[in-house]
Structure 1
Amino acid sequence: MANTSEIERVLTEAVAAGIPGITAAAATADGPIFEGAAGRRGLGTDTAMTPDTVFRIASMTKAVTATAALQLVEQGKIGLDQPAGEILPFLAAPQVLDGFDAAGKPMLRPARGTVTLRNLLTHTSGFVYDNWNGSMHRYMRETGLPGARTGRMAGLSAPLGYDPGTRWEYGIGIDIAGRMVEVVSGQDLDSYMRAHIFAPLGMHDTGYHLRPDALARLAQLHGRQADGSLAVLDAPPPTYPDFIPGGGGLFSTARDYLVFLQMLMHGGAWNGARILQDETVASMGQNHMGDLDVLPMVSFNPRLSNDVELFPGMRKKWGLSFLINTEQGPAGRSAGSLAWAGLNNTYYWLDPVAKVAGVLMTQILPFGDRAVLDTLDRYEAAVYRTVRG
């Protein structure tokens, strides 16, 4: 068994520096090498953080939704490049928001190009998030349109921010991909994921709806204040009236999510369950955006997110739901590794070259918290040093 004292020290030092609580897990091809926690489940409780603490994993949901959609691709029920409007009629003739006229009225025009599952999964569909797009932020504020994360069907009727396939911009595409899964499978997304991903893998603490025993293990959410301090935020479990958003909303644990990453590390099979075919998993980790590049994310809602650019100065690509670093990472991960994160400062990576996967979870807003990002770098470096002896 590897000596994990350096990894444990990273977690305890993070808490000493002011992060209320943190959990982490890591694995190699041989299985888990670390599982640990430090601090408390929140500033408003004396309950210790534990490896089975439940977190709101937000956009770490996206890779799970992509997995669900790709299962249906394998079955021939959805085509990666099939016009999405054939499944969701509201996508048959999307409009693009082209700014605002002199009177402040939104200017809309027909989109040039077709929305497909491939560009929904790669954030090249034209759909954007209002908190990272100034024009959409204004449009939604002035029209009262709900966000996709509300689970209200009206939230999927937002115009595009650009023509499909012409650039990368982080957005609600995977929420829409999740709706495609619901329509094609005839199940709500939570039921589909439980039956086809979570139950086969033994991910019993992952889902959109919490059992009472899991709710009792839920970490508190915190907000970073102007003076740098943290305050507990009221964050009751959401309800979804019309559909379940595939871009966020799952609850999970570091332990469970590591199981999901191990499934991907092993070509789609783990714990005796085949979730995806080898070739599908290999494709997920390839560049699916051509010559386009992943761009910095500029925030228009500082309560939810800082300006964020992971691996600044490095050319980055996007696979079928993953950020891909094209060069060696500064903390140890190989070029071609896969990664993403959740709004509440939860992070993961999967290194298919070195066969290393890691998860780090906190519950702090806004996204891109500097203290958590610094801890992530130190954690990743400690994991690789531990693995390499």
Structure 2
Amino acid sequence: MQSKAQIDQVLRQKCEAKEIPGVVAMAATGKEVIYQGAFGQRDLSKDDAMTADSVFWIASMTKAITAAAGMQLVEQGKLSLDEPIGKVLPDLAAPQVLEGFDASGEPRLRPASKPITLRHLMTHTAGFAYNMWNGDMVQYLEKTGLPPITSCQNAALKTPIMTDPGTRWEYGTNIDFVGKAVEAASGKRLDAYLRDHLFTPLGMSDTGFKIGDAQRQRLVAMHARGEDGSLAAIPFELEQEPEFHMGGGGLYGTAADYIRFTQMILNKGKGNGNQVLKPETVALMGQNHIGELSMGKMISVTPPYTNDVDLYPDMVKKWGLSFLINTAKTPEGRSPGSLAWAGLANTYYWIDPARDIAGVILMQLLPFADGKCLEAFAGFERGVYAGLDAAGQKAA
């Protein structure tokens, strides 16, 4: 790929300038990996160089995998996109909407106007929020003493919704409930279900909720960016014996494993010789499922964890069954109708079926939507499309 040197230069320069600690990036067509690079360090407090097989917390890149598992069960008739999910998850049978707080700071709740469905959960329109982008949620957790979702305690799921189901897009804990629905419908814990029905068939041997001994040798440290822009390694690890496996953000994995997942989407449900989803299911997952609603700007209320998130501010953004969908061509070259999302520690992916290309770029630092990380991502993606365009001209 003739743009390989161009991508290498962008990513190496970011690491050498200590703008990012380290990075692994991979791009692939449905058939083959066309770019792979690893630069910088796994941990700025140690000497280990980043390697292509380094293990990252992929956080909300977990969501698409959990949704794919849910769609396998929809195919089998064990789950339904539009039946009330309360039939499967009794805890969601009578959702309460948080209307605000009274003069003494007590939450004011009312019953939701309609039931929550699996489709609402997969599209972030059920009403659940993350405290990182919702001040009322911060206040509710403080008032009730409920643990945060990253605790992986069941009590963390006992929150009200912020709006009636289906009325607005708001990023939140929705996909954790999809994970719970997978467990209820399959009779297996989420880790075992994903291993048996996605990871093993697709050859994703380095992905899981629990960090194995082999993975720990290659684990990338979390870093935090200080107010002066400097980076330092910080202690961070998800609970390794969780009460529930966080289907919305609990997985650790490698770029090579995640590329296999994206290739399965490009290949209409087939990967590693195994058909894990029907072609029509994959097509369905990539369509707009929120109608006239759109994804808005996510305003941070927890600056240490996330910046404001305003991707392609001038573009209408839709949502599929767990994917962000861009409705116009992006500055980097991504086709309209492509699928994408990210993880809190600055991990990103995109899948462009129109051009048969997908990319994954993994970094490990907070806060999310970090400017330097987004520059690295954009440089990588631009280089991938420049290579595709050059190859296309040569072929012509």
Task: Assess same fold via TM > 0.5.
Answer: yes
- Tell me if structure 2 keeps the 8 A contact 1:348–1:357: yes
Amino acid at match of 1:277: K
Q: Does 1:17 align with 2:17?
A: yes
Deviation at 1:242, TM superposition (A): 2.3
- Tell me if structure 2 keeps the 8 A contact 1:22–1:37: yes
SS of the residue corresponding to residue 353 of structure 1 reads helix
Specify the alignment match of 1:50 in structure 2.
51
Greater shift, 65-74 or 10-19, is seen at 10-19
- Tell me if structure 2 keeps the 8 A contact 1:220–1:232: yes
Give the total of aligned pairs. 389
Specify the alignment match of 2:320 in structure 1.
319
Amino acid at match of 2:24: T
Aligned counterparts of 1:360 and 1:89: Cα–Cα separation in 2: 38
Deviation at 1:8, TM superposition (A): 1.3
- Tell me if structure 2 keeps the 8 A contact 1:150–1:240: no
Aligned counterparts of 2:251 and 2:237: Cα–Cα separation in 1: 13
Aligned counterparts of 2:118 and 2:148: Cα–Cα separation in 1: 20
Q: Does 1:191 align with 2:192?
A: yes
Specify the alignment match of 1:110 in structure 2.
111
Greater shift, 338-347 or 379-388, is seen at 379-388
Deviation at 1:86, TM superposition (A): 0.2
Aligned counterparts of 2:124 and 2:213: Cα–Cα separation in 1: 35
Change (3 A) 1:176 1:307: same
- Tell me if structure 2 keeps the 8 A contact 1:2–1:387: no
Q: Does 1:336 align with 2:329?
A: no
Q: Does 1:5 align with 2:16?
A: no
- Tell me if structure 1 keeps the 8 A contact 2:70–2:178: yes
Aligned counterparts of 1:14 and 1:315: Cα–Cα separation in 2: 30
Q: Does 1:160 align with 2:161?
A: yes
TM-score, normalization by structure 1? 0.98
Counterparts of 1:231-242 in structure 2, within 5 Å, are 231-242=232-243
Amino acid at match of 2:30: A
Aligned counterparts of 2:376 and 2:152: Cα–Cα separation in 1: 33
Aligned counterparts of 2:105 and 2:276: Cα–Cα separation in 1: 49
Q: Deviations over 1:57-87 (max 9, x none)?
A: 0000000000000000000000000101001
- Tell me if structure 2 keeps the 8 A contact 1:286–1:319: yes
Deviation at 1:29, TM superposition (A): 3.0
Specify the alignment match of 1:133 in structure 2.
134
- Tell me if structure 1 keeps the 8 A contact 2:131–2:137: yes
Amino acid at match of 1:26: A
Specify the alignment match of 1:223 in structure 2.
224
Deviation at 1:243, TM superposition (A): 1.4
Question: Percent of pairs identical after alignment?
Answer: 53
5+ residue gaps, structure 1: none
Deviation at 1:145, TM superposition (A): 0.7
Deviation at 1:237, TM superposition (A): 4.1
Q: Deviations over 1:273-293 (max 9, x none)?
A: 111000000011100001001
Deviation at 1:240, TM superposition (A): 4.5
Specify the alignment match of 1:248 in structure 2.
249
Counterparts of 1:61-210 in structure 2, within 5 Å, are 61-210=62-211
TM-score, normalization by structure 2? 0.96
Q: Deviations over 1:19-43 (max 9, x none)?
A: 1110000012331101110011110
Q: Deviations over 1:228-274 (max 9, x none)?
A: 11111101342344211110010011111001000000000011011
Amino acid at match of 2:322: S
Amino acid at match of 1:279: E
Aligned counterparts of 2:237 and 2:110: Cα–Cα separation in 1: 38
Greater shift, 363-372 or 38-47, is seen at 38-47
Aligned counterparts of 2:238 and 2:122: Cα–Cα separation in 1: 26
Change (3 A) 1:241 1:22: closer
Aligned counterparts of 2:243 and 2:212: Cα–Cα separation in 1: 21
State the 4+ residue runs in structure 1 displaced beyond 4 angstroms.
Answer: none
Aligned counterparts of 2:45 and 2:378: Cα–Cα separation in 1: 27
- Tell me if structure 1 keeps the 8 A contact 2:152–2:239: no
Change (3 A) 1:75 1:2: farther
Amino acid at match of 1:136: M
Q: Does 1:364 align with 2:369?
A: no
Aligned counterparts of 1:259 and 1:29: Cα–Cα separation in 2: 9
Amino acid at match of 1:103: S
Amino acid at match of 1:297: M
- Tell me if structure 1 keeps the 8 A contact 2:208–2:253: yes
Counterparts of 1:268-279 in structure 2, within 5 Å, are 268-279=269-280
- Tell me if structure 1 keeps the 8 A contact 2:153–2:243: yes
Q: Deviations over 1:196-254 (max 9, x none)?
A: 00011111100111210111100010011111111111013423442111100100111
Amino acid at match of 1:172: T
Aligned counterparts of 2:150 and 2:223: Cα–Cα separation in 1: 19
Q: Deviations over 1:157-216 (max 9, x none)?
A: 100011000000000000011011111111111111011000111111001112101111
Q: Deviations over 1:97-139 (max 9, x none)?
A: 0001122111001111110100100000011111111111111
Deviation at 1:2, TM superposition (A): 4.9
5+ residue gaps, structure 2: 391-396
- Tell me if structure 1 keeps the 8 A contact 2:131–2:138: yes
Amino acid at match of 1:239: Q
Aligned counterparts of 1:93 and 1:237: Cα–Cα separation in 2: 30
Specify the alignment match of 1:386 in structure 2.
387
Superposed CA RMSD: 1.0
- Tell me if structure 1 keeps the 8 A contact 2:152–2:243: yes
Amino acid at match of 2:162: G
Amino acid at match of 1:158: T
Aligned counterparts of 1:283 and 1:12: Cα–Cα separation in 2: 38
- Tell me if structure 2 keeps the 8 A contact 1:149–1:247: no
